[in-house]
């Protein structure tokens, strides 16, 4: 990701949150769990924690897919009693995650996430960290 791209992405994430009813927070993260950008209402430490969780979920889904021959992971959805977390691939070695309230239309959330990735996915490539083999 280019310098300043995180700041440029923040307003796009805020726009997504503003357009999607009951979407609460959105982040862009590297595949190894580093926070790259976040919506404004999310505290930095909460964003970093959500990044680690989303990365772990994607990694688990990828491992299961490799074991069962499911192909590339497109999206991971976790549903709790009061929230959904949707994580999708967003460029090479990057993901987009959205946390939303239980009543959210997750089909609409997933659609809006796909539209955002289609618009800016090419800019979301996360460089490989030294020593990383992913």
The pLDDT of residue 29 is above 50: yes
Could you tell me the pTM of the whole model?
A: 0.87
Contact 39, 101 (CB under 8 A): no
Q: In whole angstroms, what is the distance from residue 29 CA to residue 118 CA?
A: 16
What is the pLDDT confidence band of residue 1, given thresholds at 50, 70 and 90?
very low
Encoded tokens for 111:
């659609």
Compute how many other C-beta atoms are within 10 angstroms of the C-beta atom of residue 93: 19
Spell out the alpha helix ranges (H) of the chain: 5-19, 44-68, 106-120
Model pLDDT, residue 42: 97
What are the backbone dihedrals phi and psi of residue 37, each rounded to the nearest 5 degrees, phi first? -165, 155
- For β-strands 23-30 and 94-101, DSSP reports them as antiparallel
Model pLDDT, residue 91: 84
Superfamily classification of domain 5-123: Dynein light chain 2a, cytoplasmic (3.30.450.30)
Encoded tokens for 99:
């946390």
Residue pLDDT, tens place only, 71-109:
999 999 999 999 999 999 998 889 999 999 999 999 999
What are the backbone dihedrals phi and psi of residue 82, each rounded to the nearest 5 degrees, phi first? -120, 0
């Amino acid at each position: 990701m280019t310098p300043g791209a995180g700041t440029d992405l923040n307003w796009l994430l805020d726009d997504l949150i503003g357009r999607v009813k009951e979407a609460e927070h959105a982040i862009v993260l590297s595949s190894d769990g580093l926070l790259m950008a976040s919506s404004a209402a999310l505290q930095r430490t909460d964003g970093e924690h959500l990044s680690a969780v989303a990365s772990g979920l994607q990694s688990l889904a990828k491992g299961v897919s490799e074991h069962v021959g499911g192909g590339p992971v497109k999206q991971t959805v976790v549903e709790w009693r009061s929230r959904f977390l949707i994580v999708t691939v967003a460029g090479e070695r990057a993901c987009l995650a959205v946390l939303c309230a239980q009543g959210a239309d997750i089909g609409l959330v997933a659609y809006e996430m796909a539209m955002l990735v289609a618009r800016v996915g090419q800019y979301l490539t996360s460089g490989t960290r030294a020593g990383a083999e992913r």
